Amino acid sequence: MNIIETMIYPILYPDTIIGVVAVILVKIALVLGVTMLHVAYATYFERKVIGHMQVRMGPMRVGYHGLLQPIADGIKLFFKEDLIPAAADRTVFQLAPIVMLFAAMSSLAVIPFFDGFIIADINVGLLYLLAMSSLGAYGLVMAGWASNSKYSFLGGLRSSSQIISYEIAVGLSLVGVMIMSSSLNPKEIVLAQQQHWYGMYLFPQFLGYFIFMVGAFAETNRTPFDLPEAETELVAGYFVEYSGMRFSLFFVAEYVGMIVMSAIAVTCFWGGWSIPPIFIKVIPPLAAVPGIIWFVLKIYIHVFLFYWVRATLPRYRYDHLMALGWKVLIPLALLNIVVTAIIKFMN
């Protein structure tokens, strides 16, 4: 077999195992490539948004209006020295950022980006997403423990207990969506939402959406719940000792996590790639707009929300944060489940 024949083999025989794997690889490369580009520019977007909210310009020097800033940052981090503290547990220290990035990235596998485009169409997609978001906690604990530094240790302890506390609220807030759609498959959930004239579970599940978003902020360690990395008391929390490329992996994982959380919110509450049928009834040309545009637009509304909240709200105190999770969000989520179940039963 010559080279050309090898290259077009998957196209000629799409049913063979090589063909199937090749198609999957192309899809994954596409999703990862686009996501990484969005992650790079999400950092730029954040600095610009927060800059303008604080009556500053944000990055302006590198390229037109600072457009090349993310690339410059990437190059800088790539060439920075990578230090492993002498007292650290080397293996665990090196593994932690990889675990973190793995957990954040793997979630992308089950997100339906638009009609018919989903890497793995599994029927327990939502459960898989929640499992992956919990796995991120291992990365934090490993980083905090392995660094062998007091700041990291306290940061790791705090963030792991914060994440597991809000994990419950996030998990319970999605049960309302599951009751309404009778499915755990993200694609089915989007299709179920299109059955209603309002086209989004945001309206009947507003309480669930609120709990989910508060939990999402806590799970991704974003302000106002960024206690694990509270600069004023713990410097950078669990990643104090990380530098260079390893630090940037944590950074990338945080932003991928933010995009994943937005994608779950969009899929479960904002109707995914579709828009409410009533919009199409009123303005028919909207039906011609490709689904991916709505999806990306909805994601960016959520990403903007993350930045907006960061620029607006002060940080929570640790005991208030834990009390909010356990004493307010969990009872509210249980209430949401009971009310949703009773209403569904009435109909």
Q: Is 220 exposed, middle or buried (0-12, 13-18, 19+ CB in 10 A)?
A: buried
Query: What is the contact mask toward another protein in residues 249 to 288, using x (rule: CB under 8 A)?
Result: x---------------------------------------
By CB under 8 A, is residue 182 in contact with another protein?
A: yes
Of the candidates 28, 29, 60, the one whose C-alpha atom is nearest the C-alpha of residue 44 is 60
Task: Report the site for another protein in 56-85 (rule: CB under 8 A).
Answer: 78-85
**Hey, is 166 helix, strand or coil?**
helix
Question: At closest approach, how far in Å is the CB of 8 from another protein?
Answer: 21
d(CA 248, CA 65): 23
Q: Contact, 59 vs 66, CB < 8 A?
A: yes
Name 39's Cβ contacts closer than 8 Å, sequence gap at least 6. Answer: 252, 255, 256, 259
Q: Which is nearer to another protein, 102 or 307 (CB)?
A: 102
Task: Report the site for another protein in 318-347 (rule: CB under 8 A).
Answer: 318-319, 322-323, 326-327, 330-331, 334, 337-338, 341-342, 344-345
Task: Give CA angle at 301 (247, 56), nearest 5°.
Answer: 65
Task: Report the site for another protein in 90-149 (rule: CB under 8 A).
Answer: 94, 97-98, 101-102, 105-106, 108-110, 119-123, 126-128, 145, 147-149
Q: Which is nearer to another protein, 59 or 208 (CB)?
A: 208
Question: At closest approach, how far in Å is the CB of 82 from another protein?
Answer: 6
Question: At closest approach, how far in Å is the CB of 277 from another protein?
Answer: 22
**Residue 157: both structure tokens together:** 């302890």
**Residue 177: both structure tokens together:** 């969506």
Q: Contact, 120 vs 28, CB < 8 A?
A: no
d(CA 221, CA 162): 9
Question: At closest approach, how far in Å is the CB of 250 from another protein?
Answer: 10
Q: Which is nearer to another protein, 51 or 74 (CB)?
A: 74
Task: Report the site for another protein in 194-253 (rule: CB under 8 A).
Answer: 235, 240-241, 244-246, 249
# of chain residues touching another protein (CB under 8 A): 80
Q: Which is nearer to another protein, 58 or 208 (CB)?
A: 208
Q: How far is CA 258 from the centre of its chain?
A: 3
